[in-house]
Amino acid sequence: MRKFRYLPLFLLFVFCILIISQKFNFLIRGVPIGGHSWKQISNDLPTTICFSIIWSLILNLGFNQLLKQNGNEIKKRIKERQKYSSPPHIHQCRVCGYSNKECPWGGDGKSPTYQICPCCGVQYGVKDITPEEIQKERKLWAKSKYKWFDSNLKPADWSSEEQLKNIPKIGTGENNV
């Protein structure tokens, strides 16, 4: 029954759009300007209801498919975050090794803050979960010649080589980056 949870909402939406389009001539071609009278609309009500039901079912099925796909993707990302968690209280960015005041992945190492690293520009918990994503982001950052995302925070004596030594290990065993 959850499959049709949004069906009444879609039905009401499509029904209202069809009635309004008949009255004000939005969607119907060949009708004189000004649309149908309310009497004509009430005569066409069975047809309008049938079209509303059909379009609502189509919209509901499409919407449920999108929710299912997004739900599976979200579950996959949550599992990846748990698998590739950081040790507790790590203050360094996983991509560039920048030392933050706060823990980018939270005090427990499993709850990303979703903030953006001022050095490499990665958003914690979005593009720094798996070792593959981290390596890809690190290569992109290196390709930009280690350009700072927020150049106002770049220290005068900054060295990319020194900072890259601060990159934390993630996960356990063979999952370390």
DSSP letter string over 45-63?
A: HHHHHHHHHHHHHHHHHHH
Q: What are the phi and psi torsion angles at 92 (to 5°)?
A: -95, 150
Give the total residue count for the chain.
Answer: 177
pLDDT digits (tens, 9 = 90+) for 128-152: 998 999 999 999 999 999 999 999 9
Average pLDDT estimate for 15-42: 69
Average pLDDT estimate for 88-104: 89
pLDDT above 70 as % of the chain: 88
Average pLDDT estimate for 161-175: 74
- With a cut of 60, say whether residue 29 has pLDDT above it: no
Q: And the tokens for 135?
A: 């390596």
Q: At 2, is the pLDDT very low, low, confident or very high (cuts 50, 70, 90)?
A: low
Crossing angle between the packed helical segments 45-83 and 7-24, to the nearest 10 degrees:
140
Residue 27's contacts (CB-CB under 8 Å, 6 or more residues apart) are 17, 18, 21
- CA 165 to chain centroid, in Å, comes to 32
Higher per-residue pLDDT: 38 or 158:
158
Give the pLDDT confidence score for residue 175 in this predicted structure. Answer: 43
Show me where the domains of the chain are located. Answer: 2-83, 87-170
- CA distance linking residue 94 with residue 106, whole number of Å: 13
Give the pLDDT confidence score for residue 117 in this predicted structure. Answer: 93
- CA distance linking residue 135 with residue 151, whole number of Å: 22
- With a cut of 80, say whether residue 25 has pLDDT above it: no
**Which value, in Å, is the radius of gyration of the alpha carbons in the chain?**
27
- With a cut of 60, say whether residue 125 has pLDDT above it: yes
**Beta carbons of 109 and 128 less than 8 angstroms apart:** no
Give the pLDDT confidence score for residue 54 in this predicted structure. Answer: 83
Task: Report the chain's mean pLDDT, rounded to a whole number.
Answer: 82
**Beta carbons of 81 and 110 less than 8 angstroms apart:** yes
